[in-house]
Structures are given as structure tokens and as C-alpha cells.
Amino acid sequence: MTDAPETATPATGATRSGFVALIGAPNAGKSTLVNKLVGAKVSIVTHKVQTTRAIVRGIATHDNAQIVFIDTPGIFKPKRRLDTAMVTTAWGGAKDADLILVLIDAERGIKGDAAAILERLKDVRQPKVLILNKVDRVNPEKLLNLTSTANEAVDFESTFMVSALTGSGCKDLLDFLAKRLPEGPWYYPEDQISDLPMRQLAAEITREKLYLRLHQELPYSSHIETEKWEELPNGSVRIQQVIYVERDSQKKIVLGHKGETIRAIGQASRMEIAGILEQKVHLFLFVKVRENWGDDPERYREMGLDFPH
């Protein structure tokens, strides 16, 4: 399934390393793929689009290579200021990479945002690899058609067909990347899987639970910050987070009847954070109204985005 170029096998002991960016339309499966390749949950995944706001790195060590994944926000046509910041960040992430993986949702095919991405990639000079994802949902004939359409549009050096969900094709992709990256020292210690600070990852996890729970009711007008992180003498950790919403009506939705909704969100988030930390977690969630946070430069900095003027 691959047509990997000939790469010199490194001498015994030589290490390889590099940055690999994932670019794709919202919901193409970028976060799912990074998590699968890294073997742990480093980037939050939901069925809703535009889940990934800032760049999250996952680090995989495979053979003698360290592969640093740059997971970007989905690329789409920006409508609001936050959209513009996310899309700019995504393309910025691609420019810093040694190699770009272009993810296409094979079930959706090449249209809309995916077609626009291929068009824009023509001007990007980094080597590009096509990844057709969600092959568990598509017949082989459609995959071949997509492969040829995409390769006519952009000069891809290889094509992989994977299912980020089942893991099918992922080992081939890792093998390829491990050989493809340049020789060089590793960037991170061997056991590190992400450079996302734990406070931020914990906020992302709560955001995921909020989205999963509230579906359409609270589109993208919420933002979560971890305000306090206190290691307690008994080995547990006390975490305080604030969910910022734009309107009082949204605050009521997040709280739910007698606080039921926020309790459920808190419980799901606490369990997941505790699983990652392997530590007992006390999670305290607060909801605050902060009008127009979407226009506040400070919020963008916290999310690792540049503020678009």
C-alpha cells in the first residue's frame, strides 16, 4: 500500500527525528490518528468539528526515530475571528514541519474544505504524504479513485490508507515515518509523549466532556481555564477550573437542573484526568460569564493562538 522512497538505513545507533504536521478538514480524524500513533490520548477527540483549537504535539518513538506530531486545528473557511486564528495556526504549524501528512476523510471524499486544502497545498514546499482515513467505512474502489484524484491535484510522495479508529495501516505509516525523517538527535526525553502542559491538557479534557454533553446547545462560545493546581500532601491533586461562557443563558445550560449537568461533566473529566495522572483528583468546576471573550487577545494567547487583527 505504500510506495516509500528509498531512504538510507541509518548506521546502527544513529537516531532520527523530526516534526510531522497533520493537516486536514475538520473531523478528518487528525486527533484520533495522533492518539493512535502515539499510543496515548494527547489530543482531545469528539464527534464535533473544530475540537482542536491550538496545536498539540504528540511524540511517538518508533524504531530509532522520534516523531513529533503537530496536530493542527481543522482547516476550513473562516467566518469569525477565532476561526481565522485557528486556520492561521494550522498553516503555521505546517510550515514548521519536516513533513506534512494530509488527512482526507475517505468517507466524505474530496469536496468542500478538503478540496480547498489540496488547492492551497500546491504552494506549500514541504514534502507531503496523503493519508486516506476512515477506510473502515469505504470500499476499495472509492479509495483508488480518491488516491488518483488527490495525486493529480498535489505532488504527494506517498499514499497511505488507514483507519485511525481501528489502527489498520497505522504500523505501516509509523514504519515509513521512522525511516523518512532525517538523522538527528531526539528532541524530547524518551518517555515523553506530549509537550502540552498538564494544566492545559486537563482543561482540554473538561472541554471535551462539555462538548460531548451539550452537543448543539453551546456551540463554540465556551472556553476553559485551569486556574489552580495544587498537589496535596496525601498524594492527591486539587484542580480548579473555570468554564467561561458568553451569556447568562449559557451559564444556566452548563449548570443544568440543580447543577446536574456540571456535576456530570466534572465527574467524567475528573475520572479521565485521574487516569492520566495516576493520581487521585479533586476537580472543582466554576462557570463564569465573560462577554465577548472571543474578541479578547488575552484568551487567544492562553490557547496558543495569534490574535488576528
Residues near ligand GTP, by CB under 6 A: 24, 26-32, 45-47, 49-52, 73-74, 133-134, 136-137, 163-165
State residue 29 phi and psi, 5-degree precision. 110, 20
The three state secondary structure string of 139-162 is: CHHHHHHHHHHHHHHCCCCEEEEC
Q: Does the annotation flag 24 for ligand binding? A: yes
Q: Which is nearer to ligand GTP, 90 or 99 (CB)?
A: 90
Q: Does the annotation flag 10 for ligand binding? A: no
Q: Which is nearer to ligand GTP, 52 or 64 (CB)?
A: 52
Alpha-carbon Rg for the chain, nearest whole angstrom, is 20
Shortest reach from residue 288's CB to ligand GTP, in Å: 25
The count of other CB atoms within 10 Å of the CB of residue 109 is 16
Q: Does the annotation flag 292 for ligand binding? A: no
Shortest reach from residue 199's CB to ligand GTP, in Å: 20
Q: Which is nearer to ligand GTP, 134 or 179 (CB)?
A: 134
Shortest reach from residue 165's CB to ligand GTP, in Å: 3
Shortest reach from residue 32's CB to ligand GTP, in Å: 3
Q: Does the annotation flag 258 for ligand binding? A: no
Q: Which residue is nearest to ligand GTP (CB)?
A: 74
Shortest reach from residue 25's CB to ligand GTP, in Å: 7
Q: Which is nearer to ligand GTP, 47 or 309 (CB)?
A: 47
Q: Does the annotation flag 64 for ligand binding? A: no
What is the rounded distance in angstroms from the CA atom of residue 101 to the CA atom of residue 19?
11
Q: Which is nearer to ligand GTP, 33 or 243 (CB)?
A: 33
Q: Does the annotation flag 71 for ligand binding? A: yes
Pseudo-torsion of CA 133, 138, 142, 144, nearest 10°?
50
Numbered residues of the known binding site: 24-31, 71-75, 133-136
Numbered residues of the known binding site for GTP: 24-31, 71-75, 133-136
